[in-house]
Homo-oligomer: A and B are copies of this chain.
Amino acid sequence: MIQTAHGTIETPAFIPVGTKATVKAVLPESIATGGAQAVLANAYHLYLQPGADIVAGAGGLGAFMNWPGPTFTDSGGFQVLSLGAGFKKVLAMDTAVRSDDVIAAGKDRLARVDDDGVTFKSHLDGSSHRFTPEVSMAVQRQLGADIIFAFDECTTLVNTREYQVRSLERTRLWAGRCLEQHQRLAAEEPGRPRQYLYGVVQGAQYQDLRRRAAEDLAAMDFDGYGIGGALDKSMLGEIVGWVTEVLPADRPRHLLGIGEPDDLFAAIDRGADTFDCVAPSRLARNGSVYAPTGRYNIGGAANRRSYQPLADDCDCYTCRHYTRAYLHHVYKAKEMICSTLLTIHNEHFIVGLVDSIRASIEGGHFDEFRRQFLCGYYGPSAAATLAETGFGIG
């Protein structure tokens, strides 16, 4: 359980993403009714648009977006290096192009990382900006979320090990600067509710780097820890395990950007407490629906005359009031309500899955629940493969 100035979060918990201070396509009440305990917004996006001062003027992120519960913001570390630098394009390039220089060291049109911070261009208008640990802390203080993240360098799977080592040292130094700046800013406003600052553990796929990063950050007085970086799906549980073994047991651990069912089981098994991911919402906007028997697309012809709900036994608003036939129709007609209704369902599905995992842990039948859910969701053979490649080891 995490206690914040805006309420408590029972863990493990899935936190829906509201990048630009809105969980896309839905009213906040719909997300709350669906079981969400908190939302996570993005410091990079809100810094550029509308500006952190505008959010501060409204009384902070929660008041601005009409979300009375706990809020998170991430630091912008990932976004300045991805959106600011054409990250996805780089990732999509042939892996033969592995030069770290291309990814993060001074080419035009890309973000430029130096030991002090990152200079990047706005993905909105191309204007130049600079984030440092101190700027990120100031921006996140203005945004006013209950839980904020230290500014880190998020590397990719195509960076060399040599680069990962250099980057990790930079992230360590930045973590210290974040903590100092955060404490300084908090001291200036003694009456304000405390913001919890999480340090972010990087280190890519390397066990020694991940463990060292966790040790370094554990030695600092962070309120919690983020686990970040590009993660190879097959190693996800293992990486989380390396890190959580080292981190202090009494501090919450947030796994950044993860939300697929198998990953949630694997990461919770290894000690992760909270998660955020755009997947439930993004998939919904593409017509993709979570169900206990796996994902399917509402545009499929089989749904045209189906007066069943999206998923059997689902008690979300969408499933209580709408049939697949209706949702198929509004999908084909490109009506906005399709995104709204599928987002309500998908967020409820993933939030509810993590709630069920919590209940299974409390009830002492986590392994049984995992086996049963994954067999239903991925099919027995896929679930068996998952078992071989790691799940169930913990």
Could you tell me which A residues sit within 8 Å of B by CB distance? 20-22, 24-27, 30, 49-50, 54, 57-58, 64-66, 304-305, 307, 321-323, 325-326, 328-330, 332-333, 335-337, 339-340
Whether A50 touches B340, Cβ cut-off 8 Å, given contacts A57-B325, A58-B325, A322-B66, is no
Assess the A330–B20 pair: CB atoms within 8 A: yes
Which B residue's beta carbon lies closest to that of A337? B22
List B contacts of A321 (CB < 8 A). 66
Minimum Cβ distance to chain B for residue A366 (Å): 36
Instruction: Determine if A329 and B54 form an interchain contact, defined as CB atoms under 8 angstroms apart.
Output: yes
Contact of A336 among B24, B66, B333 (CB under 8 A): B24
In the complex, the answer to whether A337 meets B26 with C-beta atoms within 8 Å is yes
Interface residue from B21, B26, B336 paired with A339 (Cβ < 8 Å): B336
A26 CA to B337 CA, complexed, in Å? 6
- Nearest CB in chain B to that of A65: its residue: B326
Q: What are some 16 contacts across the A-B interface (CB < 8 A)?
A: A20-B335, A21-B330, A22-B335, A24-B335, A24-B336, A25-B340, A26-B337, A50-B329, A54-B304, A57-B305, A57-B325, A58-B307, A58-B323, A58-B326, A64-B323, A66-B326
From residue A189, how far is it (CB to closest CB) to chain B in Å? Answer: 20
User: Which residues of B sit under 8 angstroms from A27, Cβ to Cβ?
Assistant: 27, 30, 337, 340
Closest 10 CB pairs of A and B: A50-B329, A66-B321, A25-B336, A22-B337, A20-B333, A22-B335, A64-B326, A54-B325, A49-B333, A336-B336
Which of B64, B66, B328 is A50 in contact with, Cβ under 8 Å?
A: B328
Q: Complex Cα distance A20/B27, Å?
A: 22
In the complex, A223 Cα to B51 Cα: how many Å? 57
| Chain B hits for A22, CB < 8 A | 330, 335, 337
Task: Compute how far the CA of A321 lies from the CA of B305 in the bound complex, rounded to whole angstroms.
Answer: 38
